[in-house]
Structure 1
């Protein structure tokens, strides 16, 4: 490891560490003060409040890492340019790629770290934060639980309890006319179990599909079992192609299911998508999210490829450092717009899931790689 490599690596690490720490602290403070009134109103203890905030930090780390890399590239090279170090290095024969190589290696390392961090810590931390907020702060009972790639939802009532087992969540690409966003949610491989106060099974419905028709739930291709038939002769079993049932839950009550699916890690979501496709269900939205989990881990490297060559071209004097910060914010905003557009098109099916998730990386990464390879020596 050369002296130049160690020096640039150390300088970039110092700037990166400061930026990461400041952004993480800002996220913590903003989130804390946004929720301060709720925490005080529900008399949450200090230790529980801090534990809740700590559970939210892993998700912020994933968001902050690429932004920190974006800013650190401009600032590190800007400071080196202000101290005339870039001029001295180039005069001594050091090429641009040799100078920025430590920063690219740092960005690649952060990509690997970000992926495994998001896979190992973020899903469980998000679930724990949601559990604390609902059960400890809002004082509501936990209604959903993830088992493998299935979600169970519990709905208590004065008459007993209703349990829902949802195999797959499907977001329709073409909502039914006049039915609004509620009609977009379709639940597949559903079982509905109605229990009395003594937890005795009164009724069970198993269906391939469950959707909201605007007034009640519509079930397709299923079987209904009732503990007592209308003539009191014992249990009744009925097979149906389509059947409407009145249930106390409305589509918004199943947002818990959507949250559980969205909190899956990469490998759990891959299992979910594979099972959905194997059984013939549309998993376009979830497949887009699956590709995005890998694409998002590469944000640090993509931003580094795009911003480092630009930073090497900014004059060190005449406000070059401030200009670099402004440009980095502008690039980050443009990158986010392209990314959000691609994800929306991927979720809707207008673009293939791979292109929807990877579009921003392919555009900015290709431009950055071309720019990096043609960087003046």
Structure 2
């Protein structure tokens, strides 16, 4: 058993250092892309170096998250390529150790990177990305208001139609509110007119209210109340904000909830749902590309460093092109949201299995 553990430690020692170095390299590459994309704006707004470096620092977690998959691809291809060119793979296979058995620790490490990357993306990268965007807007003098006017909203789940003259986002309040609630068959149940409504954390409290409620005998009961609330009126304040949300600013759970809200409101939701599902498939990418690069790494014979770098950059480009096309097809309802989200990963998984099965052992 000890020689096998020694062999597993040896292959990890060939991959992990390369992974850490390439992770830093790709993160730096993403940082430089963002820096040069906004460099003219920084100069025009006379941004100080400290302000620019603060924005770059806030963007670093997102860069690290995006770099995990290409770094894993490069490190695995490079590690196995070096073992191949030094003829060490021949010795290992000649001793009776199969490629599948030899690759287990690398695949386990890739699976750990996938799980850790998913957690890191949701808990650190996306919150810091929101702060980065806020800092960039503040530096460039841009303001974003989420207040909204002339609102009309329908929630299919609760059967409530909302109209309001104005929504104040900082105060979480509505002015000139009218709601109409109906059952699934479309039968009138209740209408609420209120001068104002405020969010209490779980539902809306209506002020200066006039209520019409359908009675079992078919009559309508009219009431006037200074304040009133009911569990049917728990629409999130985010539903009334101006403009569509940027899913890049939302964690996975929030993105799913937003897609389901769009669906319940009768708005286009397929694209948002596909992007929410894509969070899960993207998290599996390091494991998939590790499988791909194990099969490809043994085929590299010369200039291992450059060949591995070229392989990782090419695969990353192909991945993002397939992702862009598949999500576009999902938005156009030509494929299902799950198919649109899973297409890039499935493509590389099939390619990885093919290369792995045909690799020399």
Taking structure 2 as the reference length, what is the TM-score of the superposition?
0.71
Residue 359 of structure 1 corresponds to which residue in structure 2? Answer: 343
Residue 35 of structure 1 corresponds to which residue in structure 2? Answer: 38
How far does residue 304 in structure 1 lie from its aligned partner after superposition? Answer: 1.6
How far does residue 94 in structure 1 lie from its aligned partner after superposition? Answer: 2.0
Residue 258 of structure 1 corresponds to which residue in structure 2? Answer: 245
Find 1:304's aligned residue among 279, 283, 290.
Answer: 290
Q: In the superposition, relative to structure 1, how do residues 98 and 38 fare at CA in structure 2: closer, same or farther (>3 Å)?
A: same
Residue 341 of structure 1 corresponds to which residue in structure 2? Answer: 325
Q: Is the 8 A contact 1:191 1:207 kept in 2?
A: no
Q: In the superposition, relative to structure 1, how do residues 2 and 54 fare at CA in structure 2: closer, same or farther (>3 Å)?
A: same
Deviations along 1:105-146, one digit per CA (max 9) or x if unpaired, are: 1211111111111111233212211211222x1223341xxx
Residue 259 of structure 2 corresponds to which residue in structure 1? Answer: 273
Distance 2:167 2:359 in 1: 67
Distance 2:163 2:118 in 1: 32
How far does residue 357 in structure 1 lie from its aligned partner after superposition? Answer: 0.6
Distance 2:177 2:257 in 1: 27
Residue 73 of structure 1 corresponds to which residue in structure 2? Answer: 76
Residue 14 of structure 2 corresponds to which residue in structure 1? Answer: 11
Q: In the superposition, relative to structure 1, how do residues 165 and 294 fare at CA in structure 2: closer, same or farther (>3 Å)?
A: farther
Residue 148 of structure 1 corresponds to which residue in structure 2? Answer: none
1:106 aligned to 2:109?
A: yes
1:331 aligned to 2:315?
A: yes
Residue 173 of structure 1 corresponds to which residue in structure 2? Answer: none
How far does residue 338 in structure 1 lie from its aligned partner after superposition? Answer: 1.9
Distance 2:176 2:51 in 1: 40
Q: Is the 8 A contact 1:284 1:347 kept in 2?
A: yes
Distance 2:147 2:153 in 1: 11
Q: Is the 8 A contact 1:55 1:128 kept in 2?
A: yes
Q: Secondary structure at the match of 2:141?
A: coil
Distance 2:24 2:175 in 1: 56
Q: In the superposition, relative to structure 1, how do residues 194 and 38 fare at CA in structure 2: closer, same or farther (>3 Å)?
A: same
Q: Is the 8 A contact 2:163 2:177 kept in 1?
A: no
Q: In the superposition, relative to structure 1, how do residues 336 and 207 fare at CA in structure 2: closer, same or farther (>3 Å)?
A: farther
How far does residue 265 in structure 1 lie from its aligned partner after superposition? Answer: 0.8
Q: Is the 8 A contact 2:259 2:269 kept in 1?
A: yes
Distance 1:320 1:140 in 2: 47
Taking structure 1 as the reference length, what is the TM-score of the superposition?
0.68
1:133 aligned to 2:136?
A: yes
**Cα root mean square deviation, aligned:** 3.6
Residue 241 of structure 1 corresponds to which residue in structure 2? Answer: none
Residue 85 of structure 2 corresponds to which residue in structure 1? Answer: 82
Distance 2:127 2:338 in 1: 26
Distance 1:284 1:360 in 2: 18
Q: Secondary structure at the match of 1:351?
A: coil
Q: How does 1:152-191 map to 2 (within 5 A)?
A: 153-154=146-147, 162=149, 191=164
- Unaligned residue ranges in structure 1 (runs of 5+): 144-152, 156-161, 169-187, 209-221, 228-234, 238-252
Q: Is the 8 A contact 1:131 1:142 kept in 2?
A: no
Q: In the superposition, relative to structure 1, how do residues 350 and 204 fare at CA in structure 2: closer, same or farther (>3 Å)?
A: same
How far does residue 359 in structure 1 lie from its aligned partner after superposition? Answer: 1.3
Deviations along 1:317-366, one digit per CA (max 9) or x if unpaired, are: x4455444434433333233222211110122110001011012122212
Residue 193 of structure 1 corresponds to which residue in structure 2? Answer: 166
Distance 2:54 2:304 in 1: 42
Q: Is the 8 A contact 2:271 2:328 kept in 1?
A: no
